[in-house]
Chains A and B, each alone.
Chain A
Amino acid sequence: MSENWIEINDLHFSHGPRKILEGVDVAIPRGKVTAIMGPSGCGKTTLLRLISSQLRPSSGTIRVGGAEISRLERGELFRQRRRMGMMFQTGALFTDLSVFENVAFPLRVHTNLPESMIRDLVLMKLHAVGLRGARDLMPAELSGGMARRAALARAIVLDPDLIMYDEPFTGQDPIFVGLLQHLIRRINQTMGCTCIIVSHDIKETLSISDYMYVLADGRVIGHGEPETVINSDNEHVRQFLQGLPDGPVPFHYPAMDYHQDLHLRGSLQQEGGR
């Protein structure tokens, strides 16, 4: 097997008439933490859903662990997905199950372990994310940060080869962000799994990433180790990483010339007055 766990070649994806990804090439190294960054609406989350084959590409190839994931049939795909864990932006806990049952869910579905062993495994994972005491709470009783931690415990309960984090830091307080950074790093080191973080929180993400990709307008505009990318002289990348209000990504939504626009409106008023 190659050095890269995931290899994506010339990936195109469109949603109806809207093109979301236009020729993306991404290689994700094995056992490392890779960040995929970019402004909102650039197709980051779409890319994640393509990797997990919740969406099918319009064209191009996605190889995960050596298997061409977009060509698998449904049954085989579900087997592949057992080796992937994903933490959704909102947690996506099953609202009708307690925290304990949420984490136990993958075990119950995919294994025939005795109840006592399921209990031990679930408590171990819950302990790892610090929620061992919250096992009997329902998802509705959890704060946003706790829900994400529970979701993380659920994502790692089958010890997957690949863990995907969809916007893990968005809208969380600094304490949780620090805690999650610590967790992501530790899970990566102890389990040796490949991690992908999709985010637009630059500082938080880069400090724990080994490698990064920057996406914009459905294309990869820069990639490499974080230091190299930060010092890149690509204007587009600099604008995103430094948060400049205007640059290649324009401040204004495409519109006709400002003066002409105002003038036109003026003349309309004149006509109305006549």
Chain B
Amino acid sequence: MLDYLQRLGRQGMDVASGFGRAGILFWQALWGWPDLRAGPGLLLRQLYFVGVYSLIIIAVSGVLIGMVLALQGYTVLVRFGAEAALGQFVSLTLLREMGPVVAALLFVGRAGSAVTAEIGLMKATDQLAAMEMIGVDPLKRVIRPRLWAGIISMPILAQVFNMVAIWGAVAVGVSWLGVDAGSFWSNMQNTVEFREDVLNGAIKAVVFGIVVTWIAVFQGYDAVPTSEGISTATTRTVVYSSLAVLAMDFLLTAVMFGVK
């Protein structure tokens, strides 16, 4: 019984200290822009690896999800003779929920895991220690550009995802199933609010970007520097980030669209 309590206590302390370390890392790494002497090059490179490399998977998934949404929405709406509301259904689903969430989950798998593995490997091969020995703070040189790149890329990717998905929905709904293009767009424009829907969706994407990159960077930096440790850290990044995204999504939805 006491053993059990002790184990519980130790686990609690581990969790708390993990959060503490993650917080300190976040604070130290985020404070200020990347090293000016190194130029914007470091951030650009990371934007390239984190953002541009994720673009293809985001775009392809976006088209497919938009097409599926249009197909599913159509079969339901057509029963009520309300297929003109397809545009509204698809765009609200995407802007408020699907866009930011699915883009974030894809981002976790594509970029988050890569960032964790890369930083973990740099740690395992003493590159971070070597950097410290040269007198360069790896928090600034390695962590900060990746953190910023993730925070900047995520909302861009989410918006691209939304746009492409709506195109996919147009392709299926209007071109294939024959919903009237005029009523599709006007119905959408009448119900979608810029601040309420587009902007709130974008805020979600920014929050997800912060959470996902933060977890990815921390797991890499905090990884046990062995091959096993890195694989554990990568798995953790995917699991923790996905859960965090879904939990944050619920919270944000409750705050943004909840009962007033």
Residues of A at the B interface (CB closer than 8 Å) are 49, 52, 54, 74, 78-79, 81-82, 84-86, 88-90, 92-95, 105-106, 108-110, 151, 154
- Residues on A with beta carbons closer than 8 Å to the beta carbon of B131: 94
- Residues on A with beta carbons closer than 8 Å to the beta carbon of B130: 86, 88, 92-94, 151, 154
- Which chain A residue has the least Cβ–Cβ distance from B37? A109
- Residues on B with beta carbons closer than 8 Å to the beta carbon of A82: 134-135
- Residues on A with beta carbons closer than 8 Å to the beta carbon of B129: 49, 54, 88, 92
List 20 A-B residue pairs with CB atoms under 8 Å apart, sorted by A's residue number: A54-B132, A54-B133, A78-B136, A79-B135, A82-B134, A86-B130, A89-B126, A92-B127, A93-B130, A94-B127, A94-B130, A105-B134, A106-B134, A109-B37, A109-B38, A109-B134, A109-B135, A109-B136, A154-B130, A154-B134
- Which chain B residue has the least Cβ–Cβ distance from A85? B133
Q: Given contacts A86-B130, A109-B37, is CB(A92)–CB(B135) below 8 Å?
A: no
- Residues on A with beta carbons closer than 8 Å to the beta carbon of B97: none
> Do B135 and A95 have beta carbons less than 8 Å apart?
no
Taken residue by residue from 121 to 162, chain B's Cβ proximity to chain A (1 for < 8 Å, 0 otherwise) reads as 010011101111111110000000000000000000000000
- Which chain B residue has the least Cβ–Cβ distance from A102? B130
A138 and B38 alpha carbons, distance in the complex (Å): 20
- Residues on A with beta carbons closer than 8 Å to the beta carbon of B127: 92-95
> Do A92 and B125 have beta carbons less than 8 Å apart?
yes
Beyond A52-B133, A81-B133, 20 extra complex contacts between A and B, CB < 8 Å:
A54-B132, A74-B137, A78-B132, A78-B135, A78-B136, A79-B135, A85-B133, A88-B126, A88-B129, A90-B125, A90-B126, A92-B126, A94-B127, A94-B131, A95-B122, A105-B136, A106-B134, A109-B37, A109-B38, A110-B135
- Residues on B with beta carbons closer than 8 Å to the beta carbon of A89: 126
- Residues on B with beta carbons closer than 8 Å to the beta carbon of A95: 122, 125, 127
Q: Given contacts A86-B130, A92-B130, is CB(A106)–CB(B125) below 8 Å?
A: no
Which of the residues B38, B122, B135, B137 comes within 8 Å of A106, measured between beta carbons?
B135
- Which chain B residue has the least Cβ–Cβ distance from A53? B132
- Residues on B with beta carbons closer than 8 Å to the beta carbon of A49: 129
Which of the residues B38, B133, B136, B137 comes within 8 Å of A86, measured between beta carbons?
B133
A79 and B137 alpha carbons, distance in the complex (Å): 11
- Which chain A residue has the least Cβ–Cβ distance from B121? A95
A49 and B129 alpha carbons, distance in the complex (Å): 9
A64 and B134 alpha carbons, distance in the complex (Å): 16
Nearest Cβ on chain B to A100's Cβ, whole angstroms: 16
Nearest Cβ on chain A to B122's Cβ, whole angstroms: 8
- Which chain A residue has the least Cβ–Cβ distance from B28? A74
Nearest Cβ on chain A to B39's Cβ, whole angstroms: 10
- Residues on B with beta carbons closer than 8 Å to the beta carbon of A108: 37
- Which chain A residue has the least Cβ–Cβ distance from B128? A92
A172 and B100 alpha carbons, distance in the complex (Å): 52
A79 and B129 alpha carbons, distance in the complex (Å): 15
- Residues on B with beta carbons closer than 8 Å to the beta carbon of A109: 37-38, 134-136
A231 and B191 alpha carbons, distance in the complex (Å): 91
Residue with the greatest number of chain A CB neighbours at <10 A, chosen from B122, B127, B134 = B134
A84 and B38 alpha carbons, distance in the complex (Å): 22
A210 and B137 alpha carbons, distance in the complex (Å): 34
Nearest Cβ on chain B to A71's Cβ, whole angstroms: 17
A98 and B251 alpha carbons, distance in the complex (Å): 46
Residue with the greatest number of chain A CB neighbours at <10 A, chosen from B125, B127, B133 = B133
- Residues on A with beta carbons closer than 8 Å to the beta carbon of B135: 78-79, 81-82, 106, 109-110
A21 and B133 alpha carbons, distance in the complex (Å): 22
- Which chain B residue has the least Cβ–Cβ distance from A86? B133
A94 and B133 alpha carbons, distance in the complex (Å): 13
> Do B126 and A81 have beta carbons less than 8 Å apart?
no
> Do B134 and A81 have beta carbons less than 8 Å apart?
yes
Which of the residues B37, B38, B125, B137 comes within 8 Å of A78, measured between beta carbons?
B137
A82 and B133 alpha carbons, distance in the complex (Å): 7
A225 and B201 alpha carbons, distance in the complex (Å): 71
- Which chain B residue has the least Cβ–Cβ distance from A78? B135
- Residues on A with beta carbons closer than 8 Å to the beta carbon of B132: 54, 78, 81
- Which chain A residue has the least Cβ–Cβ distance from B130? A92
- Residues on B with beta carbons closer than 8 Å to the beta carbon of A86: 130, 133
- Residues on A with beta carbons closer than 8 Å to the beta carbon of B37: 108-109
A82 and B38 alpha carbons, distance in the complex (Å): 17
- Which chain A residue has the least Cβ–Cβ distance from B134? A106
- Residues on A with beta carbons closer than 8 Å to the beta carbon of B125: 90, 92, 95
- Residues on B with beta carbons closer than 8 Å to the beta carbon of A93: 127, 130
Nearest Cβ on chain A to B131's Cβ, whole angstroms: 8
A78 and B131 alpha carbons, distance in the complex (Å): 10
Residue with the greatest number of chain A CB neighbours at <10 A, chosen from B38, B125, B135 = B135
- Residues on B with beta carbons closer than 8 Å to the beta carbon of A151: 130
Residue with the greatest number of chain B CB neighbours at <10 A, chosen from A82, A106, A109 = A109
Taken residue by residue from 42 to 71, chain B's Cβ proximity to chain A (1 for < 8 Å, 0 otherwise) reads as 000000000000000000000000000000
Nearest Cβ on chain B to A82's Cβ, whole angstroms: 5
